[in-house]
Amino acid sequence: MYNKDWAKVDINTVPNIITEVPGPKSKEYHDRASQYMKGYSSQVRLFPVAFESGKGCVLSDVDGNDYIDFSSGIYVTGLGHCHPKISEAVALYANKLMNCHDFTTKIKMDLLEKLAEVTQGDLNGIQLYDSGTTAVEAGLRCARAATGKFEFISFWRDFHGKTMGSVSLAMVDSTQGMRAPGFYQAPRPNCYRCPFKLNYPECKCHCVDFIEDVIANETSQQLAAIVLEPIQGWNGSVIPPDEFMPRLRKLCDKYGILLFADEVLTGMARTGKMFCMEHWDTVPDITTIGKGFGNGFPVTAMCISDKYKGVVENISASSSYGGNPMACAAALASLEVIEEENLCERSEHLGNIMLERMKKIKSDHPIVGDVRGKGCLLAIELVKDKRTKEAFEEAGKLVYQKAFEKGLAWVPSKSTLRLSPPLIMEDEMALKGLDIIDEAIGEVERDLL
């Protein structure tokens, strides 16, 4: 059994910035790598640091600087960097059996039984993959096979991956190319920026009613599924009103459409529940799991209701790396850690104290238009004017960079700053990270206003 104090750190020692950042080694390594590596994320383009190690909630770069981690490797290492139970589980199979295609192993059997135990409802038809987008593509194929229909509705600015079907669901920006035939989009409920210019709750969640207009006027009545992120990730932790999910479930049932919840980002206790859809007591027909599922090891899953699980046999479901023993070991250990360390409750608690501090930041700063979150999935949205809500992208970039310079590793999204700390983070470290953000926002206001 590992020492449960493995991730504890003296709060007075982090962050610890000893060079200009990015430091000289970071700049050298990035310059050399970027001669070949193309398509870096906005995180890296804005702050090209080169990391060397991580432990718990602290990241260290190649120049010896230590950062508080508010990113979790883009929502991945929710249980902390190099959690000993997970590292030991992966190492065991790295030395024992790395891959045997999709043949059964004991560790795979144990993982499947555990996953069926923790998923909602009867989502017991499971296939394992190595990336979120691959799991989403499998879910789309299953939906078509289960219904005999071929169309999908998804939502504005949701994100589902970077392969053809997944991109067709998302189209988060114009660089992603054409949407495939049979894919339609509806406005996403966003009460801070309502696409219908209405106010909640007087709007009576009109966004659900509008989906029926999309069905009637855009589709050919061949809808296989409605696909969505329970809470938007890429677009900045946008949370729907509480009645949205139950009403969407009823609408799907009314039209014989499957409900497909993409929980790659929101699952694994990130929002304070094992699965985000639990917040609304709504069970989908298909769900996808990833990111925090292996706490950094590439392992994902597509789960489908028992009534449809037979169709998985008909979609060429297996993959080269999905369900390899190392991946299964990482995923099983991660599920066990979440339960053993009560991390759903921990995530909810940490999110509550962070959101209270974020509300104070909002009241203190004229460029903070909105703060929001569930559990450890949070966001701060910057605006030029709180009344007009005009997005302040320049401020978003500068606040991100200034906070990073002060020792906070985190995630930008244009005018929205995303916070996804590891679920194991101590209260004091989380609040210290928010103090850094508060300070960075103040400096940007003085520079730009």
Q: Which H helix or E strand runs over 61?
A: strand 58-61
CATH of domain 101-323: 3.40.640.10
Give the separation between CA 100 and CA 94, rounded to whole angstroms.
Answer: 12
Give the separation between CA 193 and CA 210, rounded to whole angstroms.
Answer: 16
Locate the domains of the chain by residue range.
101-323
Angle between helices 325-340 and 106-118 (to 10 degrees): 40
Going by C-alpha positions, the residue among 293, 271, 418 that lies closest to residue 347 is 271
The token duo for 433 is 């990270």
Q: Kindly report the length of the chain.
A: 449
**pTM exceeds 0.85 for this model:** yes
Q: Which H helix or E strand runs over 330?
A: helix 325-340
DSSP-H helix ranges across 382-426? 393-405
Specify whether the CB–CB gap between 188 and 195 falls below 8 A: yes
Torsion angle of C-alpha atoms 347, 340, 323, 420, degrees rounded to 10? 20
Contacts of residue 438, defined as CB under 8 A and 6 or more positions apart, other chains included, come to 361, 364, 365
Q: How would you write the pLDDT of the chain (449 residues) with one tens digit per residue? A: 567 789 999 999 999 999 999 999 999 999 999 999 999 999 999 999 999 999 999 999 999 999 999 999 999 999 999 999 999 999 999 999 999 999 999 999 999 999 999 999 999 999 999 999 999 999 999 999 999 999 999 999 999 999 999 999 986 666 665 788 999 999 999 999 999 999 999 999 999 999 999 999 999 999 999 999 999 999 999 999 999 999 999 999 999 999 999 999 999 999 999 999 999 999 999 999 999 999 999 999 999 999 999 999 989 899 999 999 999 999 999 999 999 999 999 999 999 999 999 999 999 999 999 999 999 999 999 999 999 999 999 999 999 999 999 999 999 989 999 999 999 999 999 999 999 999 999 999 999 98
Give the separation between CA 62 and CA 23, rounded to whole angstroms.
Answer: 8
Q: Which H helix or E strand runs over 258?
A: strand 258-263
